[in-house]
Amino acid sequence: MKLTFLGTGTSFGVPQVGCGCAVCHSPDPRDKRNRVGAIVETNGGARLLIDTPPELRLQLIAAGIDRVDAVLYTHDHADHAHGLDDIRAISMRRDVPLDMYGPADSLVRLASRFPYIFDDSIRPLPGTSKPEGRAIALADGETVEIADAEVTPVALPHGAVDVFGYRIGPLAYVTDAKQLPAKALKAFSGAKVLVLNALFRTGHPTHLSIPEAIRTAQAVGAERTYLTHLTHDNFHADLEAELPRGIAPAFDGLTIRID
């Protein structure tokens, strides 16, 4: 299995508009962070896109991705979903709409914001095209087969809403969670690679902080943990140097293989 981080930044992205901090002006390309998204490629060749962040077109081009077999949504917040229109370049080369999985309430809200994508009765004018998706709601804890992968969604608290983390074989992928309840720790037990959101060094009402993420990673016990959803509060190199063994900050474009 192969995992590619398309984006690893917060909802502001890094650099932030109008910010004069040293990280936002860093020459290190690892300090340039688009909004969060990822591609999982299975051993059988299937490609699962996790979220559709606003920079999706540029992210797919940078990663050399010209095809995906399904989209997995963690939730429908704008920084994770509002690049949805960019799947037109993917769906127009398919004979059927692109399957899009996620929490039921998130899919309902996405359909209301982007009706032309999900409503088959809305047809493009002759000579034009539109993105086409098929919404499929998932249930917390129920494993489904998507393409050639077994995928288990795991509900996690994110302020007033729940988001989905995903267990995909040896990979556990979590973003925007405030904590991992006991049932989530059990679901992610045995994962070889854990992806985990880590916002500020101080506490936040809806996200894991960096210290909380470290403790959570140690509780899961994966061989490797990669932190994502990072802010402009840290240089990549400095954060990498201080994190415990087996935990590292991800960066845009990072590709890892998972046996």
How big is the chain by its Cα radius of gyration, in Å? 18
Higher pLDDT, 125 or 3: 3
Instruction: Please give the mean pLDDT across all residues of the chain.
Output: 96
pLDDT band per the 50, 70, 90 thresholds, residue 199 = very high
User: Token pair for residue 100?
Assistant: 């899009």
Return phi, psi of residue 94, to 5°. Answer: -110, 155
Residue in the structure block whose two tokens are 């809403």 = 161
pLDDT band per the 50, 70, 90 thresholds, residue 51 = very high
pLDDT at 253: 98
Residue 91, pLDDT > 90, answer yes
**What is the edge-to-edge ordering of all strands in the sheet holding 144-146?**
144-146, 149-158, 161-168, 171-173, 193-197, 224-228, 247-249
Q: What is the largest CA-CA distance in the chain?
A: 57
Average pLDDT value for residue range 10-38? 97
pLDDT at 209: 96
pLDDT at 160: 87
pLDDT at 259: 83
Return phi, psi of residue 57, to 5°. Answer: -55, -50
User: Token pair for residue 51?
Assistant: 């979220």
pLDDT band per the 50, 70, 90 thresholds, residue 184 = very high
Q: How far apart are CA 82 and CA 220, in angstroms?
A: 31
Residue in the structure block whose two tokens are 């854990």 = 194
Burial 104-134 (b: 16+ CB within 10 A, else e): eebbeebbeebeebbeeeeeeeeeeeebbbb
Per-residue model confidence as pLDDT tens digits over 97-153: 999 999 999 999 999 999 999 998 999 899 899 999 999 999 999 999 999 999 999
Q: DSSP letter string over 102-134?
A: EEHHHHHHHHHH-HHHH-TT--PPTT-----EE
Average pLDDT value for residue range 55-69? 97
Which of 23-32, 77-86, 122-131, 137-146 has the lowest average pLDDT? 122-131
pLDDT at 138: 98
Q: What percent of the chain has pLDDT over 70?
A: 100
pLDDT at 247: 98
User: Token pair for residue 188?
Assistant: 């992610």
Domains by residue range for the chain, with CATH: 2-250 (3.60.15.10)
Average pLDDT value for residue range 207-224? 97
